[in-house]
Amino acid sequence: MKQTNDAANIGAGSSTLQQKLAGGAFVGAPGVFDLISARIADRMGFDALYMTGYGTVASYLGLPDAGLATYTDMLDRVARIVQMTATPLIADGDTGYGGLLNVRHTVRGYEAAGATAIQLEDQQFPKKCGHTPGRRVIPMKDAVRKIEVAVESRRSDDFLIIARTDARTSLGIDEAIARAKAFEAAGADLIFVESPESEVELQKVGDAIGKPLVVNMVEGGSTPILSRERLKELGFSLAIFPTMGFLAAGAALQSAYAHLQQTGSSKDTSVPLYPFDEFSRLMGFPEIWSFEAQHAEVG
């Protein structure tokens, strides 16, 4: 496994993902939602990490992903995750947090923070998490203009713009594909049609778009969970798994705390526990111990 505790590895360059996609590789990106999940995933050898808006808002604010987190809230999370990991980070930028000037500010902020890519969507404000009901989208021309501004606002072409449409749920798959084509023409690097509801719809998206395509694998969501091989056959280049990590963590915590509440002890729990000494290494304690040994007071 890749180790990232060395300071030289933190905040590594972000052109690797673009190179892999250009070479035809299929990339699977686990969702990370806090610094523990990010540091664990960073050691696993993934080609990219995905900072999930749903999970980040839940872990940071304890609130639903419903337009309640601010640009400042999310930028802080982006910067911290990038600082403590070496794997390229794809970061959820919601709607750009406002109008066109806000989109420019958001793109430049995420890029300066060290993200590899920003995901921008065409929902009305306040936005809602994908795969939840009640999502509405702005007019196509306004959505396209946001993508154009995002593309022209970045400092480097290595910073990737992912254009997402949520039109499928309220307006149908044909409107979603029409928007995807318009985003492609506007210069987006990757295209993301949120929540197709069948393999037939996924195939329609794959057949219609020439640029690399993103698919969202949400356990319990609207899109069928498919194998890596099948997704690649359908024409997708990047699969994100935003919910897997925090759903697994939530289930483990609930089971562990239930055992503690019922027995009054952690003894004999059936929940797998990360070894304490390994977790301490994951968090960087060896560096602290080395520093203290080097600078220990004598006398």
pLDDT tier, 11 (very low <50, low <70, confident <90, very high otherwise): very low
Do 170 and 162 form a contact (C-beta atoms < 8 A)? no
Q: What is the per-residue pLDDT across 36-47, written as a single tens digit (0 to 9) for each?
A: 999 999 999 999
pLDDT on residue 291? 93
CA–CA dist 36, 32 (Å, integer): 8
Q: Does domain 7-250 match CATH 3.20.20.60? A: yes
CA–CA dist 283, 287 (Å, integer): 10
Give burial (CB, 10 Å; 0-12/13-18/19+) of 124.
middle
CA dihedral 67→71→72→74, nearest 10 degrees, is 70
Residue recorded with tokens 């337009």: 67
Specify the higher pLDDT residue, 294 or 231.
Answer: 231
Q: What is the per-residue pLDDT across 115-144, written as a single tens digit (0 to 9) for each?
A: 999 999 999 887 777 666 768 999 999 999
Q: Hey, where are the domains in the chain?
A: 7-250
Q: How far from the centroid of its chain's Cα atoms is residue 208's Cα?
A: 24
Q: What is the per-residue pLDDT across 238-276, written as a single tens digit (0 to 9) for each?
A: 999 999 999 999 999 999 999 999 999 999 999 999 999
pLDDT on residue 83? 97
Q: What is the DSSP letter of 265?
A: S
CA–CA dist 33, 163 (Å, integer): 21
N residues, the chain? 299
pLDDT tier, 299 (very low <50, low <70, confident <90, very high otherwise): low
User: CA-CA distances (angstroms) from residue 144 to 158, 175, 177, 265?
Assistant: 21, 13, 13, 56
Q: Kindly tell me if the per-residue pLDDT of 59 is higher than 90.
A: yes
